[in-house]
Amino acid sequence: MKVFAANWKMNKSPEEARAFFQEFLPLIPLDKNQDQILIFPMALCAESVASAVHPFQSKNLFWGAQNISSEKEGAFTGETSACVLKKMGASFALIGHSERRTLFHESNQFLSLKMKMALQQGLTPMLCLGESLQQRDEGITQTVLQTQLEESLKGVSPSQQVYIAYEPVWAIGTGRVALPEQVRQAHGWIREWLNQHGFSAQTPILYGGSVKPENAKELLMVPDVDGFLVGGASLQAISFAKICGWSV
Ligand code: PGA
């Protein structure tokens, strides 16, 4: 099984989200396929995405939140509750996307609270990690990834299901995709860490960062690449369907 996840970031109105599904659903042979398709819309589009996805959940099409609060409910102005997302039909939550880490200063310690909240509320968290260009140039990528895993997964039991998305910061939204060899190495380090800490060998590790229809096929052949987290190229139904491997 491969996992193809669309991170729409702060794009699309509820109406545009509905239009995406009208175009996307006829393109994808959900019946014939074991792969998982996950859509991460802006919270404002949750309802329109939930109703588009609902009839297909048994066919491996799910949606999730781009971010959740570390708190369950209460006086937290502007936050999004994992508990309510679950009630609306969400199945996943992105935790620690690099834009959250850099622009909103979310630390590994803070992200571990969000991981636990997602799991408590019955959402599968997809933990995003990756090194900056400076860290890669300094040769400390493996240490950075290990620290992110260790600190963000603190208090998470290895028996719980998590997904991991490896997204080198320098490849996100830049058009500069990581080389297959760099991806293989990073995914290998992550897989090794997960094994050493008792997480399931089936834990999906997705690659993200400038994935496009033109480079998806090659990257999907890299060992330990279980799918993609796609930003820009997931906004158009046709290009996302091509990344998922369907000839459209
Ligand atoms: P990109 O974004 O595909 O536009 O590089 C990936 C991501 O941020 O998840």
Instruction: Read off the pTM.
Output: 0.96
C-alpha distances in Å from residue 207, one per residue of 2, 30, 107, 143, 147 = 11, 22, 21, 18, 18
C-beta of 232 in contact with ligand 1 (< 6 A): yes
Distance 207 CA to ligand 1 centre (A): 10
Residue indicated by tokens 């309510």? 84
Give yes or no for a contact between 93 and 65, defined as CB atoms under 8 angstroms apart: yes
pLDDT score of 88: 97
pLDDT digits (tens, 9 = 90+) for 176-230: 889 999 999 999 999 999 999 999 999 999 999 999 999 999 999 999 999 999 9
Check pocket membership of 172 for ligand 1, CB cut-off 6 A: yes
SS3 166: strand
Protein residue with least CA distance to atom 1, ligand 1: 231
Q: What is the spatial distance between Cα 23 and Cα 92, in angstroms, rounded to a whole number?
A: 23
Q: Is the CB of 7 under 6 A from ligand 1?
A: yes
Cβ of 239 less than 6 Å from ligand 1: no
Closest residue by Cα to atom 6, ligand 1, is 231
Mean pLDDT of 42-57: 94
Beta strands in the chain, from DSSP E residues, in sequence order:
3-7, 36-40, 61-65, 92-95, 124-129, 163-166, 205-208, 227-230
